[in-house]
Structure 1
């Protein structure tokens, strides 16, 4: 469910023909640059009702990293890092 919601956001912001999964790299695969990441994160924050810190922002390398942050926020810090 989280992945499908992220996919909708990615489809709105990027042209990506591959299959989006937890291993998809935000910069290398999606073609995002340093200006795209904050826009993506703002959309994720709005969609999921969370706040992602600058420290967490710099840890996002893959869609899986993003999923783990979302789950951690939604579960009050109880996520074990396995989307």
Structure 2
């Protein structure tokens, strides 16, 4: 799942895939603002055919937290 996340994030944030780890923080490391995060959520919802409620977004601050969230929702890698 990390590899797919790297692809999505590299496209969304115009960065190199190999710089993204599970510890990568969206705001601190990738400079994401609220619009960036909204677009990322839309991309994840489309990619994994799930809905991510806005209330859940505050807990999704790193790549690892998103992977854990998706796994908790039953998304397969």
Q: TM-score, normalised by structure 1?
A: 0.80
Q: Which has the higher contact order (CA 8 A, sep 6+)?
A: 2
Q: Show the counterpart of 1:3.
A: 2
For 2:50 and 2:65, locate their aligned partners in 1 and report how far apart those are by CA, in whole Å. Answer: 15
Q: What whole-Å deviation, never above 9, does each CA across 1:16-61 have from its counterpart, x for those lacking one? A: 3462111000111011101110100110111111111111111111
Distance 1:49 1:64 in 2: 19
Query: TM-score, normalising length from structure 2?
Result: 0.86
Gaps of 5+ in 2: none
Q: Specify the structure having the higher radius of gyration (Cα).
A: 1
Residue 9 of structure 1 aligns to a residue in which SS?
helix
Deviation at 1:15, TM superposition (A): 2.6
CA contact (8 A) 1:14 1:30 kept: yes
CA RMSD, 1 decimal: 1.4
1:14 counterpart = 2:50: no
Which protein is richer in helix relative to its size?
A: 2
